[in-house]
Amino acid sequence: MFAIFLKTLPFFALIGLGYWAGRTRFFTEEATAYLTKFVFYFALSAMLFRFAANLSLAEVLDWTLVSAYLWGTAVVYGLATGVAFLRRLDVPTAAIEAQCAVIGNVGFLGVPMLVLLLGEQAIGPVMLVLAVDLIVFSSLIVILITGARDGRMSLGILRTVGMGLVRNPMIMAISAGLIWSALELPIPDPMNEFLAILGGAATPGALFAIGASLASKSAERAQVALWLSFCKLVLHPAFVAIGALWLFPIDTYSAGVIISAAALPVAGNVYILAQHYGVAPHRASAAILFSTVISIATVSAVIAWVGTL
């Protein structure tokens, strides 16, 4: 495990550097927002497109893997929702807590870190995990919050969900790359070099942006944040492991990748959604902060464990 910890340490050191820059105001919140936008819309999209364009849809689309990840995620989502209802929280707040319990930082942290640590063949399973998170659970939270407020389902909610997916650059980059691959079009050398250079900025840029954004996060509601961090860092990978190794068995390498992806800390976009809808933003903020700090140890432990499968 110590060897894996040393390999993951540079990634978390970059997050720490970003946190220092944000905390000392060397990097303002406005600068962090622009860096995040650059990574989200340009660097990470270039990396995902390049990876996807070099894969075939048959290599990526594995319904058994999707079932294993979806089952484990749904169980923890339901558990977190049940605990929230036992505490008499309303539907929107329960939805935010459930989102914290299962949605990890796959895009900004998982893609660069897991591909470098586990090999480029990890990109297929990681992209499937990212797609499930974005298509299923990011849509679900919009439906739950908007539906609870309106008191009913409407075409307007579905239109909002659909437009959100179409406007998400990660979904569009993956889709465009797979279409490019399906058409069996070669990537011209200048274009490939352009994508490689731009995509190369994704790893340091994303990790630095995560740290800088953490500097503005609140550490309030520590008890709730610790519970949600436990769900995300322990229960989520545990139930995904049950799904991938026993209920919907897949090859051990792919199982290890999706278990590792499930072990990642809470994603920053949960806070963005919470803030956008005005639902428990401090709760989401604290969960992101606590889970990211704790994950320095837990992610290493999980990656070391899956290496023994």
pLDDT, tens only, 166-205: 788 888 998 899 899 888 888 899 999 999 999 999 999 9
Number of domains making up the chain: 1
Report pLDDT for 103: 97
Amino acid in the structure at residue 48: L
Report pLDDT for 155: 64
Average pLDDT across the chain, whole number? 90
Report pLDDT for 180: 92
pLDDT above 70 covers a percentage of the chain that reads 95
Report pLDDT for 32: 93
Q: Find the CATH number of the domain harbouring 239.
A: 1.20.1530.20
Residue 101 pLDDT > 80, yes or no? yes
Residue 30 pLDDT > 80, yes or no? yes
Which has more confidence, 109 or 161? 109
Residue 268 pLDDT > 70, yes or no? yes
Residue 143: give the domain boundaries.
2-306
Question: How far is 39 from 252, CA to CA, in rounded Å?
Answer: 31
Confidence category of residue 151, pLDDT binned at 50, 70, 90:
low
Question: How far is 198 from 182, CA to CA, in rounded Å?
Answer: 23
Amino acid in the structure at residue 207: L
Report pLDDT for 182: 85
Q: What is the pLDDT of residues 135-150, one digit of tens each?
A: 899 889 988 888 777 6
Report pLDDT for 19: 95
Residue 154 pLDDT > 70, yes or no? no
Strand partners, 266: 104
Residue 57 pLDDT > 80, yes or no? no
Residue 221 pLDDT > 80, yes or no? no
Which has more confidence, 103 or 120? 103
Residue 122 pLDDT > 70, yes or no? yes
Angle at 35 between CA 197 and CA 117, to 5 degrees: 55
pLDDT above 90 covers a percentage of the chain that reads 66
Q: What is the pLDDT of residues 65-90, one digit of tens each?
A: 999 999 999 999 999 999 999 999 99
Residue 157 pLDDT > 70, yes or no? no
Average pLDDT over residues 259-278: 92
